[in-house]
Structure 1
């Protein structure tokens, strides 16, 4: 009986779907932190649907993002939807007041040059005139100033903000600035509900930024954990006098959060990263997988990462003084050790035997280069990474 009578409304379910899309977008953006570049934190549901913090050597900037989700896949967002301005006819200033554009323009006024981008992300598409306007502005083609859409937006926003407090010239500049920072992201299929695209895109993004290969089951598990992480960072009231540390804890996603989801040891990763390993996340993942199969404890894995880092330091110092013959002999001998370990039923105990043998052979030739059993052990760890066992 229950299923035969249509429900009065589905607003609650639609709202949950929209929030799910927002969580996916924030989680997807947070994966860029793995790149080790300027993206340092993603703040969830704070100032906007999510905000990306970019930190450089001299400054910090913010990327503000709104997520617009539609169940109907052939929908197009029109100027009225985004700016409160119709394609033709009289402007309704109540629609302008409540529009996406007015709310996002506040970021330009509040953050000035620290506002790097304003992102509008959706699973559907935008009206052609909106895309044309943004494309012309991004190219620096001032012909956009002759577009009716631009004139309507400018007029509507200036009228809205020109309340006797803000000079109209400054407001006009803000409108221009807002439109120049506006970035459209249409047809983001990873936002869609129940089609598996988020798991697929997240897996590709993880590999893009960290080169950590994932099985289908791992992709699914990480995707769920990522969405749950964003959800946990999107709840709870944030008071006005919050500190940066408190904000990061309550609303921010940082590298440590992602390492936990990827099941990568923070201690092992930080050891490699501190040693200048450019692929620290990937290399930690490889060592954890191989050494875990060998039955090593987490403490042993951290030690192995330290040994690899020490080997990298030793090789950087000594490789230019070694002859090509010596270098190739050493690298070949370490790699052949991996083959022995693959065939061994107890690889870690066998490794000790192999290291001792290599050390005894090389000790006389390398005694002036401070080669030790620990350095050779680190060389084997580096060979494991290099061969991607």
Structure 2
């Protein structure tokens, strides 16, 4: 008789630890998706200096946002002041040991970043799957204000410099700036012991940041791949590496995300350099449609270059040809594109569409048009239709 499940296991710490790490990886992976916006966020460091760190470049200045991910097993549990700050509500904050306990607390470790990184530390955040008690929010608010009605918080404010920088004197401006940088992110719904909630949130974030439409089977694959990517970055050895190599080993960047999304970096770069403001989304559309039609990677890269050539030609043509003639040409291209897609989108039929465009009455009014330009025109039409 198998009695393995009838006896209580000696300990389950390892299993609980893996669940916590999984949530940490999910939180970092979700943060990485903001890179797709192509705005300020350009890299997420995984388990480097903290659970994860968001790097932003704002007006040419690099800033870092540090995150501690703290979770509890039950949804109705809450974090209290002692857990977050190691702060006792009774007694005096009058010994080295008490100050050191606060410095080694969840919030204390984050506050140290505000001194070590100075102005480049944008913010420090405790992120959790559960709520914080009201008293925790009150301490955060009072620290920011620099005053409090509660004695234990007033003591923390008075001893703040001794807590976070016992060996290096701080100016009043440094102390005030540091106190204001702590924030709380509670009851986060995109982290959990399974990937279901994360997958849904990741799908929504990908659409929000890049408008890339995904099929359900793609969402599941991408969710797994994102978390695996962060796990690999979190576990990568960094001893002896250069700064550049550490960036690559520990950080998630745009190229990593493009790979997870199965978007060709050369196709994306070609569209981006061609002035396409939605290069990520359009690279995804072009690659997906042409791949389904049977095009090779080389042909898809060529198609991206030809689309850029067509876009450039169109911008110049607006100054050369009458608008109504260009509109007629674009309408004919749209008709051919629509018919090709409705007909099954076979690669072999694209050549037929191009030749029909060349021989059409409106096509003959533009002698400069050739096979390459019209292939680019059809690619542009594919992107427009899919983006609607």
Contact 1:85–1:156 under 8 Å retained in 2: no
Q: Which residue of 1 aligns with 2:123?
A: 117
Q: Which residue of 1 aligns with 2:227?
A: 227
Alpha-carbon distance in structure 1 between the residues aligned to 2:164 and 2:181: 19
Q: Does 1:51 align with 2:50?
A: no
Q: CA deviation at 1:363?
A: 5.4
Q: Does 1:371 align with 2:374?
A: no
Q: In the TM superposition, what whole-angstrom CA distance separates every residue of 1:101-128 from its partner, at most 9, and x where no partner exists?
A: 2211221111111111112110001121
Which one of 145, 152, 157 corresponds to residue 154 of structure 1?
157
Alpha-carbon distance in structure 1 between the residues aligned to 2:140 and 2:321: 57
Alpha-carbon distance in structure 1 between the residues aligned to 2:316 and 2:143: 51
Alpha-carbon distance in structure 1 between the residues aligned to 2:275 and 2:193: 40
Q: Which residue of 1 aligns with 2:112?
A: 106
Shift in alpha-carbon separation, 1:155–1:57, aligned structure 2, 3 A: closer
Scaled by the length of structure 2, the TM-score of the pair is 0.90
Shift in alpha-carbon separation, 1:260–1:195, aligned structure 2, 3 A: closer
Q: Which residue of 1 aligns with 2:330?
A: 331
Unaligned runs of 5+ in 1: none
Q: CA deviation at 1:160?
A: 3.0
Secondary structure of 1:2's partner?
coil
Shift in alpha-carbon separation, 1:89–1:189, aligned structure 2, 3 A: farther
Q: Does 1:193 align with 2:193?
A: yes
Q: Does 1:315 align with 2:345?
A: no
Q: Which residue of 2 aligns with 1:217?
A: 217
Contact 1:269–1:284 under 8 Å retained in 2: yes
Q: CA deviation at 1:88?
A: 4.1
Secondary structure of 2:248's partner?
helix
Alpha-carbon distance in structure 2 between the residues aligned to 1:373 and 1:135: 65
Contact 1:41–1:52 under 8 Å retained in 2: yes
Contact 1:25–1:191 under 8 Å retained in 2: yes
Alpha-carbon distance in structure 1 between the residues aligned to 2:251 and 2:198: 21
Alpha-carbon distance in structure 2 between the residues aligned to 1:134 and 1:75: 19
Q: In the TM superposition, what whole-angstrom CA distance separates every residue of 1:198-223 from its partner, at most 9, and x where no partner exists?
A: 11101111111111111222111111
Q: In the TM superposition, what whole-angstrom CA distance separates every residue of 1:213-244 from its partner, at most 9, and x where no partner exists?
A: 112221111111111111111114423x6422
Q: Which residue of 2 aligns with 1:254?
A: 253
In the TM superposition, structure 1's runs of 4+ consecutive aligned residues that sit over 6 Å from their partners are none
Q: Which residue of 2 aligns with 1:297?
A: 296
Contact 1:69–1:122 under 8 Å retained in 2: yes
Q: In the TM superposition, what whole-angstrom CA distance separates every residue of 1:237-271 from its partner, at most 9, and x where no partner exists?
A: 423x6422211221111111111111111121111
Contact 1:84–1:93 under 8 Å retained in 2: no
Q: In the TM superposition, what whole-angstrom CA distance separates every residue of 1:163-221 from its partner, at most 9, and x where no partner exists?
A: 4x333x52x54443233112211011211112610111011111111111112221111
Shift in alpha-carbon separation, 1:270–1:186, aligned structure 2, 3 A: same
Q: In the TM superposition, what whole-angstrom CA distance separates every residue of 1:60-118 from its partner, at most 9, and x where no partner exists?
A: 11111110111121122112111111344444435313212221122111111111111
Secondary structure of 1:51's partner?
strand
Q: Which residue of 1 aligns with 2:137?
A: 131
Q: CA RMSD in A?
A: 2.3
Scaled by the length of structure 1, the TM-score of the pair is 0.90
Contact 1:154–1:175 under 8 Å retained in 2: no
Contact 1:85–1:152 under 8 Å retained in 2: no
